[in-house]
Each structure stands twice: as structure tokens, then as C-alpha cells.
């Protein structure tokens, strides 16, 4: 008889909490009324609440009111209008790559899914199996590409001394990368540092990468959310498409449409010819089919509805700019609060960095002190989500940062 007292899985060790999502778990267990969660990358209103965009509510209402809508499976590559609209959004409506049918776009499960499908496609069909990711980068990047079957290496990106870009280190490391290596680039609002190259620096990166035959793989999680302008935030990607070369772009609508839980994203591969793009798409289907068969319908329908309707689209750009502007305003308020307290050090990097996150420069001991003494929750690398701040909570954060910097080495 089988022994039911011990599980066949009893040897399994408990996995550690995800370093980012674990912050929220700890925050939820804290009963202090002054607690503040600056860990998770999700937008909050000035009142600290999640936001569903008005334009998303309108699009959903339109969908609900359409009696012809059914719940049939989407094709493997996803919703056609969504794919078309997504490619136009990132590459520009007048992009020659789109006009010449050189882009293969597939709907994926948000940014993570787009990266994973792209990684698995490369592991199967590309001759160079090494991907270079910036140091530091989003914690999921190395896991996604490793599990997809690629070898992961890093290139220098952030300079702790200046709390800015280590541009020379970046150029040196990419210059030493093997010909054909894949390079992951954050399209804008680098996570976790908030440090982006200037347009001149992007042009130097492009020239170097093209001269060495390196393959760009853009992760675009914040288009429009960083500067408030959809076009400005896509400039880096468009520079690489304009030279006629090939590149990958993973898009997410989690942040810029607030569709976090809908898991809506796209992977686009810009190819040299329409024939290659069509063959690439046929192979992407073979990656997707055994992974999740076909993508979900609802979130992609919301996005397609907004992108196709000029009134909804224009309203979206206004709401998007309002979110970006609120985050920029939080940066200014935090800097002013630290300066008013005479907090030691130069904190101007807070307003120089862009997007949802600020890399404060606080060390793990200072972060632990702020959590323990002030009930402020953030990742141990000192990254804070500016979107989790409000005018009411800035003083609390500034007090905690001042105490941490003056009392903890």
C-alpha cells in the first residue's frame, strides 16, 4: 500500500519570495497606519488608489454594448487590429518598415510574455545564443532569457558615483561583445535606475551596435509614461528602425494604459524584407502554440478600440500625460523636501532620472532601517516607485531618508 503520510514532493525547499513582489507581502503584514509601499511598479493616484483610465472604461463600455462580440479563440498571433496598432504606436504610423510589410507582430502576455516568446524564438533560430543585459536591470530579465535557452551576460550601465549613466563602460562592454550578440535595451525609463541615454548617446550606441552586427532587443514598458509623449519615448527604437537594420521590440500596455492585470503586450520583429517577416511570423506561431496556444481577447480589444478611435486615442494621450506629469511633480517635491531638511549629499539625480522609478542611492542597510523604523517598503537596492508617492506622503519619505542617511552608514 502507498504511504500517504509523506508527499512525493516533501524534498522540495520553500522558494524565496520574489524580491519585488515580496515587498508587498511584507507591507500587507504591517499594521502601522503610516506604512508606505514604494516597491511595486504600479501607478497610484494622489489619494494612493489604483487608477482605471476613463478612456479604458469608455472602451470597455463600447465592447459590452456591441451584441456582435463573441468569446471565440483568437488566432495564435492574436488580434489583428491590436497588432497593427501596436506596431504603429512604437515605430510610427509613417514607418517604412510597416509600409513595406517588414514587421512581424504577435500579441503576447504583456512585456514578460513578449520577451519570453522573443527569447525562445532567438534560442531556436539565431546563431548567437548570448544576450547582453544592462547592469542593473529588471530582476525578471535574466530569468526570462535563461529559461528561454539563451546565455545571459551583462554590460555596464549605471554609475553609482554619479547616479547616472556609465556611458564609457557601456560602449566598452558592447564593443567587446562577440559579433552578432543580442543586446537588451530599455526603450525609455530604464528600470530600476530611471537613467536613460541622451539622443546623442543613443546614436553612438546605434552606430557601434550596427558596426559590430549586434542585434537590438528593445523592452518598451513605459512608452508615453516616461516623458508624457508617446513619440518622444519611442525615439530610441525608431532610430534603429530608420537605418533599415533588424531589431526586436517587446511592448507592454500595463503602465501606459493601466492594464496591468489584463496582460496585454506585443512582440514585433523588424526584418530586412517582407518575405523574411512572413517566415519569421510562421515560426513565432510554433513558439506560441505549445506555450499558451493563443492570447486573451479582452485586454487586446480594449487597446485596439482606443488605438482605432481618434477621439479615444486623443483622450488617452491627455490621461497618459497627466500620469507622467504627476510622477515628475513627485520628483520635484521629494528633491525640495530633502533640500529643505538639509539631507547630506546631492539629490538632484531624483529629477534627472525619468519614469516610474528612482534609484535613490540608498544602500541595503539604509533601506532596512527605513522599513524597520519608518514602515517604508522598497526593494533592497534603493529603488523607489515614484508613482506610489503623493504630496501627503513625501514629507514622511523625506524624514525617513534623512534619518537613514544621517544615522546609517
Going by their DSSP bridges, the two strands 383-385 and 103-109 should be labelled as: unpaired
**SS3 at position 405:** helix
Q: Which member of 166, 173, 196, 219 is catalytic? A: 219
8 A C-beta contact, residue 251 and residue 218: no
Q: Is 272 a catalytic residue?
A: no
How many residues are given for the chain?
409
DSSP calls for 333-353: HHHHHHHHTT-SS--THHHHS
In 3D space, the residue among 356, 353, 341, 352 whose CA is nearest the CA of residue 389 turns out to be: 356
Q: Which member of 138, 166, 173, 196 is catalytic? A: 138
Q: How far is CA 61 from the centre of its chain?
A: 28
Q: Is 346 a catalytic residue?
A: no
Backbone angles phi, psi at 140, to 5 degrees: -80, -20
Cα(21)–Cα(395) distance, rounded to whole angstroms? 25
In 3D space, the residue among 169, 182, 179 whose CA is nearest the CA of residue 136 turns out to be: 169
Cα(201)–Cα(244) distance, rounded to whole angstroms? 19
336 burial via Cβ count (<10 Å: 0-12, 13-18, 19+): middle
Which distant-in-sequence residues (6+ apart) come within 8 Å of 101 by Cβ?
274, 277, 278
**SS3 at position 139:** coil
Q: Is 316 a catalytic residue?
A: no
Cis peptide before 2 (omega within 30 of 0): no
Cα(281)–Cα(61) distance, rounded to whole angstroms? 33
Cα(188)–Cα(222) distance, rounded to whole angstroms? 7
**SS3 at position 252:** strand
Torsion of CA 137, 139, 145, 148, to 10 degrees: -160
Cα(302)–Cα(79) distance, rounded to whole angstroms? 11
First vs last C-alpha separation in the chain: 61
8 A C-beta contact, residue 376 and residue 38: yes
**SS3 at position 51:** coil
Q: Which member of 196, 255, 316, 347 is catalytic? A: 255
8 A C-beta contact, residue 185 and residue 150: no
Catalytic residue set: 138, 219, 255
Amino acid at each position: 500500500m502507498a504511504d500517504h503520510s509523506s508527499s512525493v514532493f516533501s524534498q522540495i525547499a520553500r522558494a524565496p519570495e520574489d524580491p519585488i513582489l515580496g515587498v508587498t507581502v511584507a507591507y500587507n503584514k504591517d499594521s502601522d497606519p503610516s506604512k508606505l509601499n514604494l516597491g511595486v511598479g504600479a501607478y497610484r493616484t494622489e489619494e494612493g488608489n489604483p487608477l482605471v483610465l476613463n478612456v479604458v472604461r469608455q472602451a470597455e463600455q463600447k465592447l459590452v454594448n456591441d451584441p456582435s462580440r463573441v468569446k471565440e479563440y483568437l488566432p495564435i498571433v492574436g488580434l489583428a487590429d491590436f497588432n497593427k496598432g501596436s506596431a504603429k504606436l512604437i515605430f510610427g504610423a509613417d514607418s517604412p518598415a510597416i509600409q513595406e510589410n517588414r514587421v512581424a507582430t504577435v500579441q503576447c502576455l504583456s512585456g514578460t510574455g513578449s520577451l519570453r516568446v522573443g527569447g525562445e524564438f532567438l534560442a531556436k533560430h539565431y546563431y548567437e545564443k548570448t544576450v547582453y543585459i544592462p547592469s542593473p536591470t529588471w530582476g525578471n530579465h535574466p530569468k526570462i532569457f535563461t529559461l528561454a535557452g539563451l546565455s545571459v551576460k551583462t554590460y555596464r550601465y549605471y554609475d553609482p558615483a554619479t547616479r547616472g549613466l556609465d556611458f564609457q563602460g557601456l560602449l566598452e562592454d558592447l564593443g567587446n561583445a562577440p559579433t552578432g550578440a543580442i543586446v537588451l535595451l530599455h526603450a525609455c525609463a530604464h528600470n530600476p535606475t530611471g537613467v536613460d541615454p541622451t539622443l546623442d548617446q543613443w546614436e553612438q550606441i546605434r552606430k557601434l551596435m550596427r558596426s559590430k552586427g549586434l542585434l537590438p532587443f528593445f523592452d518598451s514598458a513605459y512608452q508615453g509614461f516616461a516623458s508624457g509623449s508617446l513619440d518622444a519615448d519611442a525615439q530610441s527604437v525608431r532610430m534603429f528602425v530608420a537605418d533599415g537594420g533588424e531589431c526586436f521590440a517587446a511592448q507592454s500596455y500595463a503602465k501606459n494604459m493601466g492594464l496591468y492585470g489584463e496582460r496585454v503586450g506585443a512582440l514585433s520583429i523588424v526584418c530586412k524584407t517582407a518575405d523574411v517577416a512572413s517566415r519569421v511570423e510562421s515560426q513565432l506561431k510554433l513558439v506560441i502554440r505549445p506555450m499558451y496556444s493563443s492570447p486573451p481577447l479582452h485586454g487586446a480589444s480594449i487597446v485596439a478600440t482606443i488605438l482605432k478611435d481618434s477621439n479615444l486615442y486623443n483622450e488617452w494621450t491627455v490621461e497618459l500625460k497627466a500620469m507622467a506629469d504627476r510622477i515628475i511633480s513627485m520628483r520635484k517635491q521629494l528633491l525640495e523636501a530633502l533640500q529643505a531638511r538639509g539631507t547630506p549629499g546631492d539629490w538632484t539625480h531624483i529629477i534627472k532620472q525619468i519614469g516610474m522609478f528612482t534609484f535613490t542611492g540608498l544602500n541595503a542597510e539604509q533601506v532596512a532601517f527605513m522599513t524597520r523604523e519608518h514602515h517604508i517598503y522598497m526593494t533592497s537596492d534603493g529603488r523607489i516607485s515614484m508613482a506610489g508617492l503623493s504630496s501627503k506622503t513625501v514629507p514622511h519619505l523625506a524624514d525617513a531618508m534623512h534619518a537613514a542617511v544621517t544615522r546609517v552608514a
